[in-house]
Structures are given as C-alpha cells and as structure tokens.
Amino acid sequence: MENETQVITKVPEQTVESPILIYSKTAILGFSIFFGPIFGGVLLFQNLRKIQKKQESNWILAGSIAYTLFQIIANASLHTKGYSFSFSLSILGGLLLGKYFYAKYIPENPNYESKPIWTALILSLIISLPIWILGISGASRV
C-alpha cells in the first residue's frame, strides 16, 4: 500500500434560523368574529411585537380597543335585538385586522410559520364565558 494523504475538507455549517411563530390571518379573522375584534387585535399585536414592529403594534391594539368600544356603544345606542348587528361589526373588524392590516404590516416571509392557537383559544374562552353567561342570564330577566 502506498502512503496516501487524505485531505479532509470541513464544510462550513449552515446556520438555520428557527422559524418565527406568528398567528395566521385566519386565526386573527376567526378570533375577531367569534370573540370580538379586541381578541383578534391582541393576536395581531403579538405578531407585530414578535417581528419588531412596536409602534405598529401599539396602534393596532389602540385601534382594536377603540373599535370594540364603538361596537359596544353602537349596539347600546341602536337597541338592537339579537346578535346580527354585533356579529356584522365583528366580521368587519376581523376583515380589517386579518386582511388589511395583516397584509400591510406583515410581509410575506418564508421564515414565518403559523403559531398554534390553543393557548389563545383557552384564554379567550376563560375571559368570554363569564361575560356570555352574564349576558344570557341578564337577557332572560328582561
């Protein structure tokens, strides 16, 4: 056997960035419709914080709170029966958050992945269930 010299080349390691988990447009739209625009606004707020858009996130949160207050005042002022008017306003708020503002502030990025909604769903139910129960029991007394 001949004396062979082996040359070992070291391949530089590729750094693979872990994906950034954010709530999807669909999650924001769904939470806005079923729990109210303030819930979808909080999810979008968290997304924007995650991608380092602090100023935009503050505006989204403030706008979601203002929209929710408008929704409450409009429902009370118009003395609407049922939930169709409120539901329509929730759909409008969800579309604004999930379609318009999401597209405006969150660029398409292959490094973004959808964040699971389970924690947000459980928290939303914990917050909303007592309000719904109080609303139903109060409506039954009228």
Please say whether the beta carbons of 44 and 100 come within 8 A: no
- What average pLDDT does the structure give for the chain? 87
Of residues 16 and 56, which shows the higher confidence score? 56
Comparing C-alpha atoms, which of 128, 116, 98, 136 is closest to residue 35? 128
Query: CA angle at residue 129 from 60 to 92, to 5 degrees?
Result: 35
Strand partners, 20: 112
Query: CA angle at residue 133 from 26 to 124, to 5 degrees?
Result: 30
Domain chopping of the chain, boundaries:
24-129
Q: pLDDT tens digits, residue range 102-123? A: 999 998 888 999 999 999 999 9
Judged against a pLDDT cut of 70, whether residue 138 lies above it is answered with: no
- What gap in Å lies between CA 115 and CA 51, rounded to an integer? 13
